[in-house]
């Protein structure tokens, strides 16, 4: 998790040092740094499915995503290991980018790690529901309630404004899909 956060912050710092606005970067600047621009992603620049996870539309966008990644990621990483977490994060991020390109095929410029973070929410849900994380019943319910609340509140708030909710849904679905086999076949129940 610290490496993902460091890499994302370094990309943002490099953008700012190159002259990109730290608070309101232009769509052109975001595209130059690797955002998920449907027309470019679909026509010869598939790396944007990954690079867009590290490009953010300003300091607030970056801070919110990195805070979420830090809280959720550290909790998951100590339970599942860095490699499983990275696999779910990247698979969910790419799925989020693909969902965006599919849904907005006529054109969108999408940035940020939130689709990958939604994949981590899906991963956490699977771990809690499959009881791979040992908690007493009330703590499990509280944690499930918190994760469901965070997912729903973010999706609802995404209905207003310039938020790529389809990326959130795509990331969440991939997190659920990838986490199932990981949890069932490769993880032991916590002691």
| Digit-coded pLDDT (tens) for 111-128 | 999 999 999 999 999 988
Identify the domain containing residue 107 by its residue range. Answer: 2-186
In a domain, 59, yes or no: yes
- Total domains present in the chain: 1
The catalytic residue positions are 114, 168
Q: What ranges in the chain are assigned the alpha helix state H?
A: 2-17, 27-32, 38-42, 48-51, 59-80, 82-103, 114-129, 137-157, 165-186
User: One digit per residue, pLDDT tens: the chain, 191 residues?
Assistant: 899 999 999 999 999 999 999 999 999 999 999 999 999 999 999 999 999 999 999 999 999 999 999 999 998 998 888 999 999 999 999 999 999 999 987 888 999 999 999 999 999 999 888 877 777 888 889 989 999 999 999 899 888 878 899 999 999 999 999 987 887 776 665 55
In a domain, 143, yes or no: yes
In a domain, 120, yes or no: yes
Environment class of 136 (CB within 10 Å of its CB; exposed 0-12, middle 13-18, buried 19+): exposed
In a domain, 174, yes or no: yes
Environment class of 36 (CB within 10 Å of its CB; exposed 0-12, middle 13-18, buried 19+): buried
- CATH number of the domain encompassing residue 33: 1.20.1540.10
Question: Residue 122: its pLDDT value, please?
Answer: 96
Bridge partners, 36 (sequence order): 110
In a domain, 23, yes or no: yes
In a domain, 191, yes or no: no
In a domain, 105, yes or no: yes
Q: Residue 58 region, left (φ>0) first, then alpha (ψ -120 to 50), else beta?
A: left
In a domain, 139, yes or no: yes
């Amino acid at each position: 998790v610290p490496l993902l956060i460091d890499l994302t912050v370094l990309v943002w710092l490099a953008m700012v040092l190159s002259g990109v606005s730290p608070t309101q970067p232009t769509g052109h600047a975001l595209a130059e740094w690797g955002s998920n621009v449907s027309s470019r992603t679909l026509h010869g620049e598939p790396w944007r499915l990954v690079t867009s996870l590290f490009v953010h539309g300003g300091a607030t966008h970056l801070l919110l995503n990195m805070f979420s990644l830090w809280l959720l990621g550290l909790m998951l990483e100590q339970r599942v290991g860095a490699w499983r977490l990275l696999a779910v994060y990247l698979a969910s991020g790419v799925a989020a980018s693909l969902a965006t390109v599919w849904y907005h095929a006529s054109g969108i410029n999408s940035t940020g790690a939130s689709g990958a973070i939604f994949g981590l929410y899906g991963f956490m849900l699977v771990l809690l529901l499959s009881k791979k994380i040992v908690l007493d019943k009330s703590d499990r319910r509280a944690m499930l309630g918190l994760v469901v609340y965070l997912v729903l509140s973010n999706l609802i708030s995404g209905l207003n404004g310039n938020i790529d909710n389809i990326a959130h849904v795509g990331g969440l679905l991939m997190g659920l899909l990838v986490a199932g086999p990981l949890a069932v076949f490769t993880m032991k129940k916590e002691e």
